[in-house]
Homo-oligomer: A and B are copies of this chain.
């Protein structure tokens, strides 16, 4: 039986301290729900922080790497999927996630949010970027939910997940 997979996306090198704290806590809470976490897999930024958070709480951590080998993967990744596709792998991140949580915003993150909406996935936005919130809510009416903290992010995820979540 396939696991519930929650994708967590966010900036790499440009992640803020708050993005990293949020991602770590989101990862921890996802693991406690019994969901697998999926991220972009590299040892940097939100990808790394969410993986570490989930790992600390005993979760299963999937990393869909842009690179052609495991070099540079977060040490917290259990399942490295090696694509060699650069940002071309962003669509795989979107399609493989039952729901996407964005911690922070960047060009790469924006592409993943947009691809998730294109694929009909619900997106939870944990960011202070008000323009992002307004823009994406316009693109995906009813399936883009801004939240204020990791706890609310995971509560909303529970409600929005196709199956009704991990219960």
Chain A interface residues (CB < 8 Å from chain B): 1-3, 5, 36, 60, 62, 64, 68-70, 73, 75, 77-88, 90-92, 95-96, 105-108, 110-111, 114-115, 117-119, 129, 131-132, 134-135, 138-140
Contact = CB atoms under 8 A, between A and B. Distances in A.
Contacts of A3: 78-79
B36 A79 contact: yes
- How many copies of this chain are found per oligomer? 4
Contact of A91 (B1, B79, B86, B110): B86
Nearest to A96: B82
B80 A2 contact: yes
Contacts of A114: 107-108, 110-111, 114
Contacts of A69: 95
A79 B5 contact: yes
Nearest to A95: B82
Given A75-B1, A85-B86, A118 B107 contact: yes
Contacts of A96: 80-83
**Residue from A106, A107, A140 having most chain B Cβ neighbours under 10 A:** A107
A87 B117 CA distance: 11
A39 B103 CA distance: 31
A137 to B, nearest CB: 9
Contacts of A79: 2-3, 5, 36, 60, 62, 79
Contacts of A135: 110, 129, 131-132, 134-135
Nearest to A3: B78
